[in-house]
Chain A
Amino acid sequence: MRRRNQRLWMIGGAATVLGLALALTLYALSDAIVLFYSPTELAQNPPEAGTHIRIGGLVEDGSVIRGEASGARFVLTDGAHTIAVSYAGPLPDLFREGQGIVAEGTFQASGEFTATTVLAKHDETYMPPEVAEALRESGRWQGEDDN
């Protein structure tokens, strides 16, 4: 085959696949992007009830009520505002009061947050970047490295 024809084949094939990839990416991103809210943002500018979001903050001391087998109800705080969270699934090993966590789920019309996933980190000194940011914005950051 002539070199020109070969080039046409290669460019045509690559363009088709790239176009497909672009379309899929845009489609999937429109669904899969999850916005992050701090308790303060939730209080000031709540999303529509039922929207899938992530929230993050510290688990308030004394707020955890564990379920019979798994799950819990607890309160997340960034120092300025709080939000009540209910969660039915298994809690991660590092979940505890005072710990920074991220929860994913939906904000209910009742003002409560129903979590489908709760993330706590492996490392007890680790703070999820979103939570650190939320705490800094509410002026409650107590970390050593304030930069």
Chain B
Amino acid sequence: MIAELGRFLVAIALIASVAQLLFGWRAARAGNVGPLAVATGRASAVALGTLGAAFVLLAVLFLQSDFSVGYVAANSHVDKPVFYKIAAVWGGHEGSMLLWCLLLAGVGAGLNRWGPRSDDGLRLRATAVQGGLQLLFIAFLFFASNPFDRLDPAELAGRGLNPILQDPALAMHPPMLYVGYVGLSAAFSLAAAGLIEGRGGRVLAEALRPWAVAAWAFLTAGISLGAWWAYYELGWGGWWFWDPVENASFMPWLVATALIHSAIATQRSGAFPGWTAFLALTAFSLSALGAFLVRSGVLTSVHAFALDPERGLWILVMLAVIAGGGLALFGWRASTLGRGDGFEPTSREAFIGANNLFLVVTAGVVLTGTLMPLIIDALGGRMISVGAPYFNTVATPFLALLLVFLPFAPFLPWRKAGLRPVAISLTAALWLVPASIAGLALMFAGGSIFAIAGAFVGAWAIAGAISDYQRSRGQAGLGPRLASAGRSMAHAGIGLVALGAAADSTGAPEISRSLAPGETMQVGDTILALESVTRADGANYMADSAILVATEGGRTLGRLRPERRFYPANDQNTREVAIRSGVRGDLYVSLGDPHTRGDGTVAYEVRASFNPFVWLLGLGAALIALGGLTALAGQAAHRRRPA
């Protein structure tokens, strides 16, 4: 009964989205704020309400373990802990699409409620375009990925969520990522509305900036959680593999980063009006492309999802409508947005232009490498793969260049030439000191040329951000102060990530040894002794838990408890790595399969590595996301102040 109600609610949301599209369109054309505008708002509220209720119903189905529903049977199990039953609501394809649609409808209602107050035409048109996006995705949800489909006959115990996904960070990873992806749809709808209405420039930039910044902050958090999960759950010691699924989230992030900078320039000085609209359209198109790459399974990836050609085709068609429609609209109407005001080559606009160029080129080369296997396959060529070396070679130089220019920009004036003031050159000379120290430190630690350059530009960016913060913290008004602080945090965060990536690349490769209890292995200066291996079963798994004692120069550092788990419901093994974090880095240990030696002793495969300064990456990512939210709060505070 609940499943049928859920299915009914999704159908209502579909109809409400059609109403939102039609009413919003008519209301914007009529140019009045009469009954049509009210009806648009009602329709968007109904879409949001029904999808919200459907989402709650799906959660109820999971809590009741109703295995007559196919999606619940495939993703839950009677033994599963309650927290993961809830997380499983969005853990599989159908449920995550429901979440995606719910968020889209949330953005639709939000655009209608908080869209540009001064411009009803733009607001209503954007709500209508968002209704169109909802229509596409809810139709896909209802007809091709319905989580409320019944299973006949019902299953008794459920197949359980893939155990590797049974993890707190990964439970939160999809919602964060989806808020980011779908948040970008607001920028898409506003840009499309601006193009249709012939209104670009400051009004549009001001309207889409908060949405873009919020979406970008969540996207950052989502990507970071995913990388962190890959680091400790996959047990490979790495955090970024240039895997197609990772690239799928990285490309929208790059373009969204370009967008939030370009929108500032458009809002503050009227530069790049068309470009800002173009980036807004591209960012969400790449989000949809990401969904296609992840969900269709067309690429070999370390992250596995169901291979389903029918759904892949659906998403491909939606992608063509969104990206193709957006770009066609841009080509047709871009001239109505005007050409933008002029600026000097050493003004802040020029540096933001350089930032955009590097970010978009990086997104372009990553896109090329990600799609190359698909394109060659489609042209009837051989099956190929493009590996991490390609991405490291083509993407890192541009990201390094980005960081070289970054510290100057906040010091430059809008429009006017700005590099002349002696003060900036002097400050820049000071930034070189920590940058050189970081570069030299890594050179002596045996870093590659890439790592040394990475450490140099990372430290350079951090020093620049600190200098920017010191200069701007005395500003008048809470809004501008928060906005500047957010900017410094995010810029310092980027520097920290570069520094962390450079430091991490100097780590020695993982060591693998066969250890019986009582035996030891050496990782760097640390000696690991296997003390014991015992059974430690959990709610829905069996596990071997090892205790290893880490010592350095006779001093005991601590005990590590890596586990090897077996989930019978899925017939699957996982490794739970043990990590001992310190200032210098992480000692990273995982437990592998047991084997019997010739003399009858049972030994275990133990893998260990020392990963230098991993915390820099986590701290950097957190600063970037928090910086975005702080800047957002600053904008809000600024706006609330009576003009």
Residues of A at under 8 Å CB distance from B? 1-3, 6, 9-10, 13-14, 17-18, 20-21, 24-25, 27-29, 31-36, 54, 66, 68-70, 89-90, 93-94, 102, 104, 119, 121-130, 132-133, 145, 147
The distance in angstroms between the C-alpha atoms of A68 and B357, with both chains bound, is 52
Q: Is B106 an interface residue (CB 8 A)?
A: no
Do residues B572 and A124 form an inter-chain contact, with CB atoms below 8 A?
yes
Q: How far is the CB of B439 from chain A (nearest CB, A)?
A: 22
Q: How far is the CB of A142 from chain B (nearest CB, A)?
A: 14
Say which one of B26-34, B112-120, B172-180, B383-391 lies at the interface with A.
Answer: B383-391
Residue from A10, A18, A32, A122 in contact with B393 in the complex, judged by beta carbons closer than 8 Å: A32
Residue from A2, A6, A28 in contact with B389 in the complex, judged by beta carbons closer than 8 Å: A28
What residues on B are CB-neighbors of A9 within 8 Å?
345, 350
Residue from A10, A17, A70 in contact with B512 in the complex, judged by beta carbons closer than 8 Å: A70
The distance in angstroms between the C-alpha atoms of A54 and B358, with both chains bound, is 32
Scan B494-507; emit 1 where CB is below 8 A from any A CB, else 0. Answer: 00000000000000
Most interface-central of A25, A89, A147 (chain B CB within 10 A): A25
Query: How would you classify the secondary structure of chain B's contact residues: helix, strand, loop or mixed?
Result: mixed
| A1-B342, A70-B512, A70-B605 given; A90·B393 CB < 8 A | no
Offer 20 A-B interface pairs, CB within 8 angstroms, sorted by A.
A1-B343, A6-B342, A13-B354, A17-B361, A17-B398, A20-B397, A27-B393, A28-B389, A28-B393, A32-B369, A32-B387, A32-B390, A35-B383, A69-B513, A90-B592, A90-B607, A123-B304, A126-B304, A129-B300, A133-B383
| A21-B394, A34-B385, A90-B605 given; A121·B368 CB < 8 A | no
Do residues B364 and A21 form an inter-chain contact, with CB atoms below 8 A?
yes
Q: How far is the CB of B250 from chain A (nearest CB, A)?
A: 16
Q: How far is the CB of A31 from chain B (nearest CB, A)?
A: 7
The distance in angstroms between the C-alpha atoms of A6 and B341, with both chains bound, is 10
Q: Is B473 an interface residue (CB 8 A)?
A: no
Residue from B298, B300, B394 in contact with A119 in the complex, judged by beta carbons closer than 8 Å: B300
What residues on B are CB-neighbors of A132 within 8 Å?
307
Top 3 nearest A-B pairs (CB, nearest first) are A69-B514, A32-B390, A36-B383
Residues of B at under 8 Å CB distance from A? 162, 164-165, 235, 297-300, 302-307, 309, 342-345, 350, 353-354, 357-358, 361, 364-365, 368-369, 372, 382-387, 389-390, 393-394, 397-398, 510, 512-514, 570-575, 592-593, 595, 597, 603, 605, 607
Do residues A29 and B372 form an inter-chain contact, with CB atoms below 8 A?
yes
Known: A18-B361, A25-B365, A93-B573; 4 extra A-B contacts, CB below 8 A, are A36-B383, A90-B605, A93-B574, A133-B383
Do residues A129 and B512 form an inter-chain contact, with CB atoms below 8 A?
no
What residues on B are CB-neighbors of A33 within 8 Å?
372, 384-386, 390
The distance in angstroms between the C-alpha atoms of A1 and B341, with both chains bound, is 11
Do residues A122 and B303 form an inter-chain contact, with CB atoms below 8 A?
yes
Q: How far is the CB of A132 from chain B (nearest CB, A)?
A: 8
Residue from B343, B383, B572, B605 in contact with A6 in the complex, judged by beta carbons closer than 8 Å: B343
What residues on A are CB-neighbors of B514 within 8 Å?
68-70
What residues on A are CB-neighbors of B385 within 8 Å?
33-34, 36, 54
What residues on B are CB-neighbors of A18 within 8 Å?
361
Q: How far is the CB of B187 from chain A (nearest CB, A)?
A: 23
Residue from B299, B383, B570 in contact with A124 in the complex, judged by beta carbons closer than 8 Å: B570
The distance in angstroms between the C-alpha atoms of A104 and B398, with both chains bound, is 29
The distance in angstroms between the C-alpha atoms of A102 and B593, with both chains bound, is 21
The distance in angstroms between the C-alpha atoms of A3 and B345, with both chains bound, is 11
The distance in angstroms between the C-alpha atoms of A13 and B365, with both chains bound, is 17
The distance in angstroms between the C-alpha atoms of A12 and B143, with both chains bound, is 49
Considering only CB atoms, which chain A residue lies closest to B509 in the complex? Answer: A89
What residues on B are CB-neighbors of A20 within 8 Å?
397
Do residues A24 and B394 form an inter-chain contact, with CB atoms below 8 A?
yes
The distance in angstroms between the C-alpha atoms of A93 and B563, with both chains bound, is 13
Residue from B162, B309, B350, B574 in contact with A147 in the complex, judged by beta carbons closer than 8 Å: B309
Residue from B235, B344, B510 in contact with A1 in the complex, judged by beta carbons closer than 8 Å: B344
